[in-house]
Amino acid sequence: MNNLQEDKTETIPDVSFKAAFIFWLKLGFISFGGPAGQIAVMHQELVEQKKWISEKRFMHALNYCMLLPGPEAQQLATYIGWLMHKTKGGLIAGLFFILPSLIILITLSWIYAKFGNLPVIAGLFYGIKPAVTAIVFHATYRIGSKSLKNKYMYAIACIAFVLIFAFNVPFPLIVLLAAMSGYMLSKFDPSLFIGNTHQGSSKTYGKAIIDDDTPTPEHAIFKWPRLIKLLIISALLWCLPILLLTSIYGWTHAYTQMAWFFTKAALMTFGGAYAVLPYVYQGAVNFYGWLKPTQMIDGLALGESTPGPLIMVVAFVGFMGGYNLDLLGPDHKFLAGALGATIVTWFTFLFSFIFILGGAPVIESTHNQIKFTAPLTAITAAVVGVILNLALFFAYHVLWPKGFEGQFDYIAASITLAACIALFKFNQSVLRVIGFAAVLGLIIQLNI
């Protein structure tokens, strides 16, 4: 029994913290393409090239992150960082996924607010948007090819696509239906999910450091005292800023209301950024008046075109709210905007870390139990259909910028096609495709 316990808590093979630190920092600057593109980048780097984690363990973590409210790609990075290097690894991975994007968005938001629509920025955006469309299509294919292993998984993906595309069914309901179908299917034919979940990366990419059969490390074993400690710390990290803002500015002040509003938004972001954008638009534009409708649309373009989670568009909302309302006086508009962006980002992402650091130990104990893996596998199949819907959403707004009644953008279509060829046929990196498309868009726009 003692030997068995020692094997269970065996330390996983070493991935140096320095190497992981450098990778997570790099990822924060190259994580374009929204969640689908970001997950594709992590899969390519961590599963295929570096072999730090196996296909099965990667997908199991992804399935859990898909269940959670919040940005799944950032949560996946936090999960893998935590699995390799405990809490510090999770914090580093998660924070580096956010901070570069926050700094870039604060800078671009200030330029946008101060100088308006610069031709240089417009040109960069013009090239990046078609490339992002291609990246999402490519990520749909990559994730689908790994998770759709039989006709039932294809059926779940197709049904999910029809539900969200044709009937606008809420994403949480799609997740629930997929989980229920996976559980029921596993009762009738467990082999549908055994074949899927045991399709380990060792056969495709070679043995990984955290492989299918790597024992669960000690820090990843669920313990009640550890969870209670985490929840107490998390409650303080939420309560203290709220109390501080209330004591300084009052409950009705814009900064305090931003904290409260984006706390609620953070708990409603099932299905990624696009699922919560209508809620953010309604609150930030229509109810609070922090920014104008056209500014919200421009903010979405910034969010699409910068690294980091797409939900980082909320940082733009916070910046413009502080800037437009002169919350620190007319002489400190930039500081007011930067503080607004920081407040919004804190309350949007705090729960992402809580869900991973608190829930991942439970999930790590389930990766060989089909009653847990079957619903999660079915959810991944459904998410393929949802991501395809997102890809079509991008394509529509990029190729018909003024709607179907407007003119088809042949130049944007050509950039999209070129990016697809680079990704599908020549297996070019996401960063290279984004960079080339940005330069191409800049050249085209400045010559018009």
Binning pLDDT at 50, 70 and 90, where does residue 10 land? very low
Binning pLDDT at 50, 70 and 90, where does residue 56 land? confident
Given a cut of 80, whether residue 184 has pLDDT beyond it is yes
Binning pLDDT at 50, 70 and 90, where does residue 83 land? very high
CB 305 within 8 A of CB 121: no
What is the overall mean pLDDT for the chain?
85
Give pLDDT, residue 365. 76
Binning pLDDT at 50, 70 and 90, where does residue 112 land? confident
Give pLDDT, residue 196. 46
Give pLDDT, residue 393. 78
Interatomic CA distance for residues 43 and 135, integer angstroms: 14
Query: pLDDT by residue (tens digit) across 130-140?
Result: 887 888 788 78
Q: 423-429 long-range contacts, Cβ below 8 Å, gap at least 24?
A: 423/134, 423/135, 423/138, 424/138, 424/141, 429/44
Separation in Å, CA 135 to CA 288, 392, 420: 35, 12, 7
Binning pLDDT at 50, 70 and 90, where does residue 1 land? very low
Measured in residues, the chain has a length of: 448
Give pLDDT, residue 275. 58
Given a cut of 80, whether residue 204 has pLDDT beyond it is no
Residues 6+ apart with CB under 8 A from 10: 215, 217
Given a cut of 50, whether residue 11 has pLDDT beyond it is no
**pTM attached to this predicted model:** 0.73
What is the pLDDT averaged over residues 419-437? 87
Interatomic CA distance for residues 156 and 192, integer angstroms: 13
Given a cut of 70, whether residue 33 has pLDDT beyond it is no
Binning pLDDT at 50, 70 and 90, where does residue 201 land? very low
Binning pLDDT at 50, 70 and 90, where does residue 4 land? very low
Given a cut of 50, whether residue 40 has pLDDT beyond it is yes
DSSP string, 125-156: HHHHHHHHHHHHHHHHHHHHHHH--SHHHHHH
Q: Which residue has the higher pLDDT, 369 or 81?
A: 81
Bridge partners for 291 per DSSP? none
Q: Which residue has the tokens 């973590």?
A: 61
Q: Which residue has the higher pLDDT, 336 or 377?
A: 336
Give pLDDT, residue 212. 84
Interatomic CA distance for residues 255 and 317, integer angstroms: 12
Give pLDDT, residue 372. 73
Given a cut of 90, whether residue 307 has pLDDT beyond it is no
Give pLDDT, residue 391. 82
- DSSP class of 420: H
Give pLDDT, residue 366. 72
Q: Which residue has the higher pLDDT, 186 or 33?
A: 186
Q: Which residue has the higher pLDDT, 78 or 271?
A: 78
What is the pLDDT averaged over residues 193-202? 50
Give pLDDT, residue 448. 58
Given a cut of 80, whether residue 378 has pLDDT beyond it is yes
Roughly how many angstroms between the first and final C-alpha of the chain, as a whole number? 74
Interatomic CA distance for residues 143 and 380, integer angstroms: 9
Give pLDDT, residue 269. 64
Give pLDDT, residue 290. 96
Question: Which one, of 430, 344, 439, lies nearest residue 98 by Cα?
Answer: 344
